[in-house]
Amino acid sequence: DTAVSQTPKYLVTQMGNDKSIKCEQNLGHDTMYWYKQDSKKFLKIMFSYNNKELIINETVPNRFSPKSPDKAHLNLHINSLELGDSAVYFCASGGALDTIYFGEGSWLTVV
């Protein structure tokens, strides 16, 4: 069973569109994250949720809106996509021993 699963894995879309990436974890963790990895492989935290509550909201444009319907899900909705949004987006969840478990990533390409 996949611990942290995110869909879609690949997404190609035009500028100005709105898209969502879904994430689910079956590990029973309270904390979930969204990270963005750019072309230089730098991994930057975007959001952190603990038990459905927003804990961390880094300097991310408000076009990015996370939604956590329950503690097992953290979805990412992006409005008015821009070229610079092209990146790999990783969902992750946090364990009791502070280990982070990552999904396989969602490759977003904005054309």
Partner 1 sequence: SQQGEEDPQALSIQEGENATMNCSYKTSINNLQWYRQNSGRGLVHLILIRSNEREKHSGRLRVTLDTSKKSSSLLITASRAADTASYFCATDGDNNNDMRFGAGTRLTVKP
Residue 90 exposure: Cα atoms within 13 Å on the Cβ side: 16
Minimal distance in Å, beta carbon 7 to partner 1? 13
Instruction: Figure out which of the listed residues 25, 48, 68, 75 binds partner 1, where binding follows CB under 8 A.
Output: 48
Q: Which is nearer to partner 1, 44 or 80 (CB)?
A: 44
Q: Which is nearer to partner 1, 79 or 104 (CB)?
A: 104
**Interacting residues with partner 1 between 2 and 31 (CB under 8 A):** 4, 31
42: Cβ–Cβ under 8 A, 6 or more apart, which residues? none
d(CA 34, CA 75): 9
Q: Is 101 in the site for partner 1 (CB under 8 A)?
A: yes
Q: Is 72 in the site for partner 1 (CB under 8 A)?
A: no
Pairing of strands 53-57, 4-7: unpaired
